[in-house]
Amino acid sequence: MNARLRANTGRPCVLCGIPLDAQYFDESRIVDLQSEPEEYRTIVMVQFDLPPQYCGVLQNFFQFTDLLASDPTRIDTPDLEWTIRVNGHPLYPYLGFQHIVNPWGSSCCPVDIRLDEGARLDFAVRRLGASPGVRRIGARLSGRYWYNSAYGTAA
């Protein structure tokens, strides 16, 4: 007789506390600044919407500029302001920074920030100037999300 597989939302991982049936999200985008109209000062690089009745956790974010790719010491972005937002509000302490915090491709520095049910998460970049030398920028958000058992069982 075959066993019936069922999601067990009532049993979290003993190491991280995340339910065993949690799903992953990994959203990324690279933008050519030369092709973006100058009047668009803020660019939502990437966003992820948690489904209704689902909670989650932002586990990591990454940034990219073509200057950083050619020279790893070019972490300053004085004409670009990076902000991670939840439901349109800046997520402390990731608001208004003007440098590369987590370079794309590094496996460093997980953040593990809990996201409320149905949250909209986005990573935006605001142009403060002409960004001389920077032609391409990128952003990536990754994490997990799961059904909130406060709404009942999924079975």
In the sheet with 23-32, reading across from the earlier edge strand, the strands are 23-32, 136-147, 54-65, 113-115
Tens digit of pLDDT at every position of the chain (155 positions): 344 434 444 566 666 667 777 899 999 999 998 887 666 688 999 999 999 999 999 999 999 999 888 888 889 998 899 999 999 999 998 989 999 999 888 877 889 899 999 999 999 999 887 767 888 999 999 999 998 776 666 55
For each of the domains in the chain, give its residue range(s) and CATH number, in order of start: 23-151 (2.60.120)
Q: Cβ distance 120 to 49 under 8 Å?
A: yes
State both tokens at 42: 């803020």
